C-alpha cells in the first residue's frame, strides 16, 4: 500500500480498535439501548459504520481506475460533507443501503467489520502511484473520490459516529435505566 494511504488506513484501524476496547464491557442491553424513539443504539451505529465501509469497498471495486471528471464543485462539496461530519450536524443517511436494521449482535458486527477492513486494505493495496488521481469510491453528495479523499471521508465518518457512541454511553449513565 502506498505510504500516504497506509498512514490513513492505519489511523482508521487504530480508531476502530480503540472504539472496540471502549465498548467491550457493554452489556447487550447497553449495546441495544436507544436514547430516543428515532435514535440509534450503539449496535446500530456500528452496523451503519460497517455498512459504510462495505459501500466504500464495493463501490471501489466497481469504479477502480475510473478517471475523475473535473467537477468545479467537487472540492467544495467534499469540504461541506467533512464540515457536517466534524460538527455532528444531524442529517439523514444519504444512502438507504447503509441504514442500520438493528438486528445484529456485536460479535457478528465485529467479525463483519474485520472482513470489511481487510477487503478495504486489499482495494488500497491495488492502488499504484498512477492510480492516485483516479476514483476508487463515490459518495452520494461528493461524487467520485480519489483514494486519499476516500480515507479522509472514512476517518471523518468514523469520528462522527464514535462521538455519537460516546453520547449514547453518557445517555445510558445519566438515564439510570440500565444500572442495577
Domain boundaries, the chain: 3-175
Distance CA 109, CA 115 (A): 10
Convert the pLDDT of each residue in 135-166 to its tens digit. Answer: 888 888 888 888 999 999 999 999 999 999 99
Residue 135: predicted pLDDT: 83
pLDDT at residue 168 is higher than 80:
yes
pTM for the full model?
0.91
What is the number of other CB atoms lying within 10 angstroms of the CB of residue 43? 25
Q: Which residue has the cell 461524487?
A: 143
C-alpha cell at 160: 462522527
**Average of per-residue pLDDT values in the chain:** 89
Contact by Cβ (8 Å): 29, 178: yes
Distance CA 128, CA 10 (A): 18
Contact by Cβ (8 Å): 145, 137: yes
Residue 59: predicted pLDDT: 64
pLDDT at residue 44 is higher than 90:
yes
**Between 71 and 55, where is the model more confident?**
55
Out of 1.20.120.450, 3.90.1150.10, 2.60.40.1180, 3.40.718.10, the CATH code matching 3-175 is 1.20.120.450
Contact by Cβ (8 Å): 124, 1: yes
* CA–CA distances in Å: residue 69 to residues 76, 128, 141, 177: 15, 19, 15, 52
Amino acid at each position: 500500500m502506498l505510504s500516504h494511504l497506509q498512514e490513513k488506513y492505519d489511523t482508521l484501524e487504530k480508531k476502530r480498535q480503540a472504539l472496540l476496547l471502549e465498548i467491550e464491557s457493554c452489556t447487550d442491553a447497553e449495546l441495544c439501548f436507544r436514547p430516543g424513539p428515532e435514535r440509534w443504539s450503539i449496535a446500530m451505529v456500528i452496523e451503519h459504520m460497517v455498512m459504510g465501509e462495505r459501500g466504500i469497498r464495493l463501490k471501489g471495486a466497481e469504479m477502480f481506475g475510473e478517471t475523475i471528471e473535473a467537477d468545479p464543485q467537487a472540492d467544495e462539496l467534499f469540504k461541506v460533507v467533512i464540515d457536517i461530519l466534524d460538527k455532528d450536524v444531524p442529517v439523514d443517511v444519504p444512502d438507504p443501503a447503509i441504514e442500520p436494521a438493528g438486528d445484529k449482535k456485536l460479535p457478528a458486527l465485529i467479525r463483519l467489520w474485520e472482513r470489511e477492513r481487510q477487503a478495504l486494505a486489499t482495494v488500497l493495496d491495488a492502488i499504484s502511484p498512477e492510480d492516485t488521481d483516479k476514483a476508487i469510491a463515490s459518495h452520494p453528495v461528493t461524487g467520485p473520490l480519489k483514494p486519499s479523499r476516500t480515507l479522509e471521508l472514512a476517518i471523518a465518518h468514523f469520528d462522527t459516529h464514535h462521538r455519537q457512541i460516546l453520547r449514547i454511553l453518557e445517555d445510558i449513565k445519566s438515564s439510570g435505566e440500565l444500572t442495577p
